[in-house]
Structure 1
């Protein structure tokens, strides 16, 4: 039996290694393509490693003020979006999990129903709304429309439903109000869940392309995906620089994952609570 278990462990490790290699292959190719000459990136036959290693592509893209502006604006907007998303969705989740009020179930059904509406289906109407509100070409048009998320509310609410009522009752006996209970009891216990929701919001903002393209025309507010798209259109021959910029654009997300990976795993486990 022990020999069989050893074989199984070896097989699982081999499968995990294969899946890891397949998952990381596109990223590794983009990173290495950033070191290639422009003609070598899409040359045939395919070469994984560059013939001649060039650091110039990375130095040139880092020397482009537009790239640095797009990275900083996108990173700042993503952090703001994630923070507001946590505040709004956590507060709403607490209300639906712990408070009793008229039409609560009806409102919760209404909120959950929005999860089944594709984002593309409301793009035009959303654009009309923000246009009439004068929000085009502002950071607000990128942040505010997507802050409230039914999926994130549902996820946080499920966590709050599993917090013992005794903690809340003890705080009420001590004279704490609902706001104090939320900020002093629920929020400190929600860190693993907040990491999952925050990173999900961050990634949604960072990777967005269609909405920024529709609402932002000011180059100073270009998001990183807009910048890479415009670079591809205007400087199509400089594929090495494009690959270098694409690799660097993934760096903040990778760093965040490495920092919070322990809490991400904890949050995934928590997501199984009923």
Structure 2
């Protein structure tokens, strides 16, 4: 009977995974279905699981009447800039903490890790005042600058960089390569899986960020997509189909990005757990 027990356990495990996948995907599928329904169709009882006559009218309304393309472009520009710059700065700092020797390195890194327990909301007021003194309020720069580096990103890259053999770096130094050449030509290619993982985390976090753009931006023409969608919910609270269409447009890019890069994402998570 041991074989039957193994088959039963495997079947129950797969059924549980299928049930978890259905529970996870159902809200997303419902959101797409509602966005394709005719006005007030989603408010019926019981609500239909799929529209009787699917229509893209709500998506056309978003682009024609609400200028959603502008907000999507704002989000794309901000998320792309933050992702590119944060990869550079986090990689530089993570490599330095992993492979370069300087006084106070371990204490400084320990202080950074300790700062991770501080909620980001606590730093919003002093950060806002600092950016105000720099003249970055109500500008895309004010949204981008706080995301240039993160403790989590430094930690993630530092842990991965620890797996790079010191002998490989020493051989490059013997051949006459400088530290920046070693970093750019040797370390970055070796860190590609964790860089892709961090890029996905950063892009998704910036794209979906609502609170900080709401605080720093005052001009509606500079709003990012989540802020504009929140205003849409306030103005058209009864138009559920239109709000779901906006939510689909917000979620679709990050889902597509994750599906395209999930191989590197999983590889980075597995290999990024290297300990000293």
What is the TM-score normalised by the length of structure 1?
0.95
Rounded Cα–Cα distance in structure 1 between residues aligned with 2:234 and 2:92: 43
Query: Hey, what's the Cα distance between the residues in 1 that align with 2:8 and 2:264?
Result: 31
The aligned runs of 1:141-156 (5 Å cut-off) are 141-156=142-157
Q: Which residue of 1 aligns with 2:120?
A: 119
Quick check: 1:254 aligned with 2:255? yes
Q: What is the CA–CA distance in structure 1 between the aligned matches of 2:48 and 2:66, rounded to whole Å?
A: 31
- The 3-state SS of whatever aligns with 2:41 is coil
By how many angstroms is 1:119 displaced? 0.5
For the 8 Å contact 1:38–1:237, the answer to whether it is kept is no
Counterpart Cα distance in 1 of 2:181 and 2:174: 13
* Whole-angstrom CA distance in 1 between matches of 2:217 and 2:90: 26
Alignment of 1:85-234 (within 5 A): 85-234=86-235
What residue is the counterpart of 1:11 in the other structure?
12
The structure-2 alpha-carbon separation of the partners of 1:253 and 1:100, relative to structure 1 and needing over 3 Å to count, comes to: same
- Residue 62 of structure 1, CA deviation: 3.3
What's 1:22 paired with?
Answer: 23
How much has 1:271 moved relative to structure 2? Answer: 2.6
Secondary structure of the equivalent of 1:22?
helix
| Contact 1:41-1:240 at 8 Å conserved across structures | yes
After TM superposition, the structure 1 stretch with the greater mean CA deviation from structure 2, 183-192 or 96-105, is 96-105
Question: 1:59: Cα distance to partner?
Answer: 2.3
Aligned to 2:42, the other structure's residue is in SS state coil
Quote how far apart the aligned CAs of 1:53 are. Answer: 2.7
The Cα offsets for residues 209-257 of structure 1, whole Å up to 9 and x where unpaired, read as 1111111122221100011011111222322111111112111111111
* Aligned-residue offset at 1:86: 0.6
Higher deviation after alignment, 182-191 or 60-69: 60-69
**Residues 108-159 of structure 1: CA deviation (Å, up to 9, x unaligned):** 1222222111001111111111112110111111111122111111111011
Q: Displacement, 1:196?
A: 1.0
- Unmatched tracts of structure 2, length 5 or more: none
Residue 42 of structure 1: how far off its partner (Å) = 3.6
Between the aligned partners of 1:207 and 1:64, the Cα distance in structure 2 is: 23
After TM superposition, give the deviation of residue 273 of structure 1 in Å: 2.0
Gapped runs of 5+ residues in structure 1? none
What secondary structure sits across from 1:63 in the alignment?
A: helix
Q: Deviations over 1:35-69 (max 9, x none)?
A: 12332334433332234433211222233462001
The yes-or-no answer on 1:240 pairing with 2:241 is: yes
Match of 2:36 in 1: 35
C-alpha separation in 1, matches of 2:27 and 2:261: 23
> How many Å separate the matches in 2 of 1:8 and 1:271?
31
- Of 242-251 and 53-62, the range deviating more from structure 2: 53-62
- The superposition leaves residues 63-95 of structure 1 with CA deviations (integer Å, 9 ceiling, x where unpaired) of 346200111110121111111111001100111
* DSSP 3-state at the match of 1:116: coil
